[in-house]
C-alpha cells in the first residue's frame, strides 16, 4: 500500500501508526533513505491494502476506524480533507486494511505460471521481498530467486529440482507467505519470534529450479517444437509424464553437480531419460548452471534442498560435513518426526557438492511418503512437518 509523505513524517512514525516493524518499512523503500523523507513522496507500507468504504447514515470516523481495527489518525491520514463531523453519506473513503491471513493458493497443481502469479501477489503486498533471476531453463523461462531479510547469515532453500516433486514448491511458497505475514504483523510462528530472524538471517529461496519439467508433469507435452517431439521420444511415446524427474532435455538436475559425478554417471542411463541420466558432464544444464552460480556468489551458511519422498533428512557426504551438521540434523528430526540419516549412496547432488566444496551444512529433505508425484492431499501434513525444519534452519 502506498501513502503520501506529509511534513514531519518519518519512517518511525509510520512504524507506530501502522504497527509494522521499522526495518520492514525501510527495506520496502530502498530508493528513499530514512533521513531523506520529503513531503509529497510516496512510501510503500507492507502488509496493507486499500479497501473502499461508502459512508452510510450513522457513520463516524471512530466507528469506521474501530470496525477496521485502525486508529482514527490513520483513517484521517488516508483521506486528506476529511474531518470528524463532516462525513457525507455516499462519500467513499479509503480504509487501510491490514492483511491477517494468507493470500496465495498453493494447494493446486503448482505450475510455473501459478508460482509467478503468487510471487507477484506477495511482492505487491510485501515490498521488502526481493527477487532476481537465478538463471534460465532449457525453454528459456526465467528462474526467480527470492530473498527475505537483511542479516549477514544467508540460508538457502530450493525445491522442484525434480519435476514430479513439485509439491515441494507448494510447501516452500506456503512458508514464504506465512513468514512474510508474520513479519509484517510482528507475530511469531510456533512461538518463534520472526523479526529477530529477519534482522539476523537472510533467506534465499528458489521455489522451482526445474520449471519446464514441472509444467511437463502437470500439463503434458508442450505444443512448441522441438520440445514436444523430443520429450515424447525420451518418454517412449507415452504422453503421461508422472514419472518424469528430469529437465526438458532429459537430464536429472540432481545428478549434475561435480561431487563424484564420474562415479554417478556410470550407474544410470547413458542417454536422455525421464530420470537418472547424469548428462555428458557436470553442470551442462542451464538450470544447474544458474543454481551453481548463485551458490558461488552468495556465501550461503547452509543449504536445504527439498525433495520427495520418504520423510528422511540426509545430511552427510563422504565425511566432509562439519560437526554442526549432526546437531542441526538432530534438531530437524526432532521438530519434524523425520529420520536423520548421515550417509546414503548419494553422489553428484546439490547438497553433496555444497558440503564438498564449502564444508558447511547441507541437507536433502525428503518430504511426504508414497509414489511421486505425491497427491495434494498430503500437503497439510507435509507443510506441518517441514515448517519446523524451515524455522530451525533460519534460527541456525
Q: Which residues are catalytic?
A: 366
- What distances in angstroms separate CA 160 from CA 115, 165, 209, 237, 372, one per listed residue? 12, 6, 6, 24, 12
Query: What are the two backbone dihedrals, phi and then psi, of residue 156, each rounded to the nearest 5 degrees?
Result: -115, 135
Q: Torsion angle of alpha carbons 338, 342, 346, 348, nearest 10°? A: 100
248 with 213: CB under 8 angstroms?
yes
- Residue 260's CB is within 10 A of a number of other CB atoms, namely 18
Query: What gap in Å lies between CA 112 and CA 254, rounded to an integer?
Result: 19
β-partners of residue 159 are 306
Q: Are 102 and 156 in contact (CB under 8 A)?
A: no
Angle at 115 between CA 139 and CA 30, to 5 degrees: 105
Q: Is 287 exposed, middle or buried (0-12, 13-18, 19+ CB in 10 A)?
A: buried
Amino acid at each position: 500500500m502506498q501513502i503520501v509523505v506529509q511534513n514531519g513524517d518519518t519512517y518511525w512514525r509510520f512504524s507506530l501508526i501502522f504497527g509494522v516493524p521499522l526495518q520492514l518499512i525501510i527495506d520496502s523503500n530502498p530508493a528513499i533513505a530514512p533521513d531523506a523523507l520529503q513531503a509529497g513522496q510516496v512510501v510503500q507500507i507492507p502488509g496493507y491494502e486499500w479497501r473502499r468504504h461508502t459512508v452510510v447514515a450513522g457513520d463516524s470516523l471512530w466507528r469506521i476506524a474501530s470496525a477496521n481495527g485502525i486508529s482514527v489518525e490513520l483513517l484521517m491520514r488516508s483521506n486528506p480533507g476529511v474531518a470528524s463531523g463532516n462525513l457525507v453519506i455516499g462519500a467513499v473513503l479509503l480504509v487501510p486494511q491490514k492483511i491477517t491471513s494468507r493470500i496465495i493458493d498453493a494447494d493446486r497443481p503448482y505450475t510455473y505460471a501459478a508460482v509467478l502469479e503468487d510471487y507477484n501477489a506477495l511482492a505487491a503486498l510485501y515490498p521488502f521481498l526481493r527477487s532476481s533471476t537465478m538463471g534460465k531453463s532449457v525453454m528459456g523461462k526465467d528462474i526467480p530467486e527470492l530473498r527475505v531479510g537483511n542479516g549477514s547469515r544467508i540460508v538457502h532453500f530450493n525445491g522442484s529440482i525434480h519435476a514430479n516433486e513439485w509439491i515441494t514448491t507448494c510447501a516452500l511458497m506456503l512458508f514464504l507467505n506465512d513468514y512474510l505475514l508474520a513479519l509484517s504483523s510482528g507475530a511469531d510462528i510456533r512461538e518463534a519470534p520472526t523479526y529477530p530472524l529477519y534482522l539476523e538471517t537472510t533467506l534465499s529461496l528458489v521455489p522451482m529450479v526445474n520449471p519446464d519439467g514441472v509444467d511437463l508433469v502437470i500439463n503434458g507435452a508442450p505444443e512448441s517444437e522441438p520440445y514436444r517431439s523430443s520429450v515424447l521420444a525420451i518418454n517412449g511415446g507415452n504422453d503421461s509424464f508422472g514419472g518424469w524427474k528430469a529437465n526438458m532435455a532429459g537430464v536429472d538436475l540432481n545428478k549434475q553437480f561435480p561431487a563424484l559425478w564420474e562415479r554417478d554417471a556410470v550407474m544410470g542411463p547413458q542417454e536422455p531419460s525421464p530420470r537418472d541420466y547424469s548428462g555428458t558432464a557436470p553442470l551442462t544444464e542451464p538450470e544447474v548452471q544458474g543454481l551453481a552460480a548463485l551458490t558461488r556468489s552468495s556465501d550461503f551458511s547452509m543449504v536445504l534442498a527439498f525433495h520427495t519422498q520418504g520423510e528422511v533428512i540426509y545430511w552427510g557426504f563422504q565425511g566432509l560435513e562439519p560437526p554442526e551438521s549432526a546437531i542441526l540434523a538432530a534438531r530437524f528430526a526432532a521438530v519434524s518426526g523425520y529420520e536423520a540419516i548421515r550417509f546414503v549412496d548419494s553422489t553428484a547432488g546439490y547438497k553433496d557438492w555444497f558440503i564438498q566444496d564449502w564444508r558447511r551444512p547441507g541437507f536433502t529433505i525428503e518430504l511426504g511418503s508414497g509414489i511421486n508425484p505425491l497427491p495434494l492431499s498430503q500437503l497439510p501434513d507435509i507443510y506441518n512437518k517441514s515448517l519446523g525444519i524451515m524455522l530451525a534452519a533460519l534460527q541456525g
